[in-house]
Structures are given as C-alpha cells and as structure tokens.
Amino acid sequence: MTVTPRPLCTVRAGRALFALLASVGLHQAGRADDGPSLPRVAPLPSYQQECAACHLAYPPALLPAASWQRLMSNLSRHFGTDASLDAATSHEISAWLAANAGSTRRVRDSPPLDRITTSAWFTHAHDEVPKAVWKRPAVKSASNCAACHTRTDQGEFNEHDVRIPR
C-alpha cells in the first residue's frame, strides 16, 4: 500500500483547524449554556435574603450594570410586584450588583426590559427548548432556572447538569 503524501499547506491548514477547534472547545467548556462566563462571586447576604425570598438570586454577571441599576431604581414595580427595600439595603445591593455585573461582550448590552430571559445569549442558549416546556407546572417560566439547572444553588448553569422536568 502506497501512502500519498499530503501537500504541506493541507497539513498546516488541518493543524490550524484542529488548534482552533480545540481552543474553542476548551473555551466553550468554561461557559454556562453558551451564555456568559460566570465569575465566582461571594454572595452578598442581603442580596440572598431579599432577592432569593421570591426568586433565584441571579448571578450579577447575567446582566450589565445599567440593567441592574434600572431594576434596583424601580423596585416598587419589580415585574409586577412591590419589592421596595430600605435605602441602606437598596444602596448596598445596588453597589454589589454594579461591582459584579456582567461586562463581557455577551452581556454588555441591556436586554429588552432588562430581563435575563430576553437577552441574546439566553435565547440562543435555550433555542432548542420547546415553548411548551416553559409552561410545565414544574417549570412555570423561563426565569425559573432552578427547575432545570440542578446546580443553581452553587451558581452553576452548565448544560451537562440540566434535568428538564416532565
């Protein structure tokens, strides 16, 4: 059996493609659901206490600082609920959210209505989820991350830890 040598340019192109795919693969592995990289941030107790009383205490990196500022300045009408806080707590949480807000290319722009679920990265990462899944009693809405992401309590949203309820 004779082996025909490949042209050098083909070999180099193949190596370059392999290196590119490997680097993308390694980069992708660190991201949650093709969304923004979520840096590890020590939870702010007042944020956990106040926000997690009603919903998941979303990691601050999921929205840009401008979105967090608008959300915190309009707590009296927080998605149909009065979530008002005293001035000191509001200031503390606002400062923490701003300091830890998303700043990557993926979250730089505020999503429509400052909703995480309307951001481009979120809709792209969840585009394979049928609309009927969001309406299941165990899920209720796209904002209920913990319904499918089994490690939200640890700030993990990796697609390998997803279990979609029936």
pLDDT averaged per 10 residues, the chain (length 166): 50 41 34 56 93 92 96 96 96 97 89 94 93 95 94 86 92
Amino acid 6 reads R
Domain contains 95: yes
So what's the pLDDT on residue 1?
53
Domain contains 113: yes
So what's the pLDDT on residue 108?
85
CB of 83 closer than 8 Å to CB of 49: no
In the block, tokens 């025909």 appear at 4
What pTM does this model have? Answer: 0.74
Number of domains in the chain: 1
DSSP state of 54: T
Domain contains 16: no
Element counts in the chain: helices (H) and strands (E): 6, 0
Domain contains 32: no
Both structure tokens of 23: 């680097």
Domain contains 141: yes
Domain contains 1: no
Domain contains 122: yes
Tell me which residue range forms the domain holding 139: 45-161
